Structure 1
Amino acid sequence: MSLMKPLGGEVSVHMAAPVTEVWDLVSDVTRIGEFSPETFEAEWTHGATGPEVGARFRGHVKRNGVGPVYWTPCTVTACEPGEVFEFGVGLDDKHLNTWGYRMAPEDGGTRVTEYFRLTPAWYLRGYWLVLGRLRGKTNERGMRTTLERMKAVVEA
């Protein structure tokens, strides 16, 4: 049944750079504006100064690069240097979706996978049923753009 499929997607890119360099880039939320086609800036909040589980930040988003501009509150939910950096979007423990990066050594460089998952709430399942294919493709294009821009930086 299509409503039970995962509500999300992912994109992977190989980067000719060590895992430590890639980690430093993906876990520094203050640099996301250099790479993302939708989130043009981010800042640590609530006393956070860097990546760790529970650290909070907010992203300044312009949906599809043309929509309304708004801030989204985020909380780091997984933080294993060189392996995974993940954060939930939404207030406190009520995350609407989760975004993250997984890293693994590969062919002298790093395989980086950016992913997103919507929280499996009934209203998000309805949204995904109606707009999921379109939004999923938009997110996949955005993730590929983000990763390719990061790749250009770490390979320079």
Structure 2
Amino acid sequence: MRLAEGPGVGCAVHVEADVARVWELVTDIRLPARLSPELRRVAWMGEADRPLVGARFEGWNHHPQLGEWRTVSHVVELDEPRVFAWAVTDADGRYGEPTLDPARCMASWRFELEPEAGGTRLRLSVRIGPGRSGVSLALDHRPDREEEIVAFRLNELRAGMEATLRGIKSAAE
């Protein structure tokens, strides 16, 4: 898979709780920071204190190979209680020119919920790009290993997503 193709990955879990309870958890932007191996802290920006299309939140991340960095995420889709999606931008220019444009995001994330067998089917997915990210930095140094680098990053993201989903499932049940 090539970075220009917008590679992505998704995971799903069945949660023995109703959609309303799961929705409450996935729209608490602070929760993933307690569950993810990479995301450390999250805070709403401006007047926002809950998800609304156009609302923004800051995230502080840490990765063993990249160190620490800040992102600004933009809520791009909200269909309560079914979809919560956001685009992550590089406001500080850590990976290239600074941007707050969701169309030039580093990654797009999406929770999807649907009733299933007395509980909720919860999906979490991510798509890398089209903006620059840590993957871009790695490719700057090793363009000949693009497919390996992209696959490695997708595996890291999958592991983090699985941890997040396990944590949400545990909190909901």
Unaligned stretches of 5+ residues in structure 2: 90-98, 140-145
Task: Please identify which structure carries the higher strand content.
Answer: 1
Question: Distance between the aligned counterparts of 1:6 and 1:130, measured in 2?
Answer: 15
CA contact (8 A) 1:35 1:149 kept: yes
Q: Which residue is 1:27 aligned to?
A: 27
Q: Which residue is 2:93 aligned to?
A: none
User: What TM-score does the superposition give when structure 1 sets the normalisation length?
Assistant: 0.87
- 2:91 is the counterpart of 1:92: no
- Deviation string 1:30-61 (CA, Å, 9 cap, x unpaired) is 22222212112100002211101100001111
CA contact (8 A) 2:56 2:73 kept: yes
CA contact (8 A) 1:7 1:120 kept: no
Q: Which residue is 2:40 aligned to?
A: 40
Aligned residue pair count:
153
- Deviation string 1:109-155 (CA, Å, 9 cap, x unpaired) is 00111100123469978945351111111111110011001111100
- 2:157 is the counterpart of 1:136: no
Q: Which residue is 1:12 aligned to?
A: 12
Matches within 5 A, 1:92-131: 92-93=100-101, 94-120=104-130, 127=139, 129-131=147-149
Q: Note the C-alpha offset of 1:92.
A: 2.3
Unaligned stretches of 5+ residues in structure 1: none
Question: Distance between the aligned counterparts of 2:36 and 2:19, measured in 1?
Answer: 20
Are the structure 2 counterparts of residues 130 and 20 from structure 1 closer, same or farther at C-alpha, using a change threshold of 3 Å? same
Q: Which residue is 2:63 aligned to?
A: 63
User: What TM-score does the superposition give when structure 2 sets the normalisation length?
Assistant: 0.79
Q: Indicate the percent of aligned positions where both proteins have the same amino acid.
A: 29
Moved more, 39-48 or 90-99: 90-99
Question: Distance between the aligned counterparts of 1:69 and 1:51, measured in 2?
Answer: 25
Are the structure 2 counterparts of residues 39 and 121 from structure 1 closer, same or farther at C-alpha, using a change threshold of 3 Å? closer
